[in-house]
Amino acid sequence: MSAGTPEVQAVNELVARARAAMSAFAHATQARTDEAVTALAWSLCKPEHAKELAESAVRDTGLGNVADKIIKNQRKTFGTLRDLLRVKTVGVIEEDKAHGILKYAKPVGVVGAVTPSTNPAATPVNKAMMAIKGRNAIIIAPSPAGWTTTARAVELMRSALETIGLPADLVQVLPAPVNKALTNALMQACDLVVTTGSQNNVRNSYRSGTPAIGVGTGNVPVIIDSSADLKDAAEKICASKTFDNATSCSSENSVVILDDVYKEAISALEAVGGYLAIAREKKAIENTLWIDGRLNYKVVAKDAAVLAREAGLPDAAQAARFFMVEETGVGPKHPFSDEKLSLVLTVYRASDFEKAAAQIQAILDYVGRGHSCGIHTQNMDHARYLAEKIDVVRVLVNQAHTFGNGGGFNSGLNFTLSMGCGTWGGNSISENLNYRHFINITHLSTVIAEDKPTEEELFGDYWSRYGK
């Protein structure tokens, strides 16, 4: 991209301001840094702000619902703050006396953060908190649809920083209208790119020449095992599937039910608001959900009644909380095996657990490689089997996926809105995005007692088997 283009000039001005702000923040203590992170958190957690930004997000993007976005804005921010206040990112953060190593945390620089339309407030604030925790500055590149909401969230964060006497330019946003050229210019000018959203943006971030972290596509499949507590499983799947109208990449897209509990599991799902579509209704849902092979944004992430009306489903369906469609295949000829971003749950049937696990892997191999899967079971051997055999970063046991995958108060995964999927999903990280990705580490190495084994200790077993 030419250095003289308006996009490059605009980005260079933002980056210069970010670097100046970082200089003023460079000598912040841990306490001062944590104060800044807390200020950012409160800018979204504050009830009137959480509500305002939730309303703005739904109004601007048409995705999700206000009540759940308020919860998401507050819960994710609160959980992220909990995690960040428990760790050190200034000065010496670790001492390994046995190996004579002291580790010092340093900023990575100016972070360019690409954020999606599904979470135009929560994701920018979440990333800003992590970036500021590392004493970095951040410039956010929002989706065009979410720009107004993101810009307002940034305005609130900047005001919060000024209130505590820190430079507002630690947090900035690309000017409207945001476009591909502007976002690409930011990717090339910053020191680290962190991308959540479309896979095109993820690939562009890796091609930018700047160190980059991207996340993969979700398409979560979950097993209901023979030993599952069916009522508990149904309640958790329903709560997770319907939250914010399935905008989360961690929302269950498919459920694989074991034969011997199939009818009972379907009944349990119906009892919590699921509607099992018959064959002609399934076809009507398919024709409504996809137009010319693309998701129909008239119904994506909308209330169940909207999809039911558009598909011409009966009154009983319009009163449902989510829809179930039975499927047997995976791949382009079976669109329900893909990520749907809607209140549609694909249902598979498996004769035994190993076949259920194979079905899980087939779904992920088609869409969602590396992301995550889950199981409802009382048999931890089955859970461990999935962890050993399925190529995913996260396997959740007896959890509502949307509330556990990106961090929960009753699980050990850290809070985030950006889930790395490892090399399986074309990503550079195989964990939840967290503060460690926003710091560089200097290792101070001092002399220790010599740690040099003998040749016999290292090669002895090999020599005894194969000779020298």
Residues assigned a catalytic role: 249
Contacts of 246 (CB under 8 A, 6+ apart): 301, 322, 340, 341, 342, 343
Measured CA to CA, the distance from residue 421 to residue 216 in angstroms comes to 5
Measured CA to CA, the distance from residue 453 to residue 420 in angstroms comes to 38
Measured CA to CA, the distance from residue 47 to residue 411 in angstroms comes to 25
The bridge status of strand 101-107 relative to strand 91-96 is antiparallel
CA angle 176, 181, 184 (to 5 degrees): 105
Question: Of the candidates 124, 133, 159, which has an alpha carbon nearest to the alpha carbon of residue 28?
Answer: 133
Measured CA to CA, the distance from residue 214 to residue 366 in angstroms comes to 19
CB-neighbour burial class of residue 138 (10 A; exposed 0-12, middle 13-18, buried 19+): buried
> What single DSSP character describes residue 435?
G
In DSSP terms, which residues pair with 173 in a beta bridge?
Answer: 140
Largest CA distance in the chain: 79
Contacts of 201 (CB under 8 A, 6+ apart): 114, 183, 195, 214
The label of the residue with tokens 């199981």 reads 375
CA angle 105, 124, 442 (to 5 degrees): 10
Measured CA to CA, the distance from residue 82 to residue 79 in angstroms comes to 5
In DSSP terms, which residues pair with 275 in a beta bridge?
Answer: 323
The number of angstroms, rounded, from the C-alpha of 402 to the middle of its chain's C-alpha atoms is 10
CA quadruple 196, 197, 200, 201: dihedral positive or negative?
negative
Q: 415-452 burial by CB neighbour count: b if 16+ within 10 A, else e?
A: bbbbbbbbebbbbebbbbbbbbbbbeeeeeeeeeeeee
In DSSP terms, which residues pair with 444 in a beta bridge?
Answer: 102
